[in-house]
Amino acid sequence: MKRQFLYAKSYLTRLFGLKADDLQIDFEPVTFGHCLNVPETLHHAGIKYYYYCRGHNNDRHHLYRWMAPSGRFG
């Protein structure tokens, strides 16, 4: 997954003329499960922000900071 992010960053920097540091968000519009270590993986790929869409749930907060078991944030 980390390698895929690095390839994507390389491609997008060439395509749009951006700096790799400008690409710090991962957007996954439809996901149906997440590994506990996603924040750790994103951190190692240089991703600071993670956005995903999930159905509305009144029992949970809509904005939160996800922490991996290692203590890394995503």
The torsion angles phi and psi of 63, rounded to 5 degrees, stand at -125, 125
Residue 74 has pLDDT above 60, yes or no: no
What's the rounded Cα separation, in Å, for the pair 40 and 15? 27
Question: What average pLDDT score do residues 38-50 get?
Answer: 84
Confidence of residue 14 (pLDDT cuts 50, 70, 90): very high
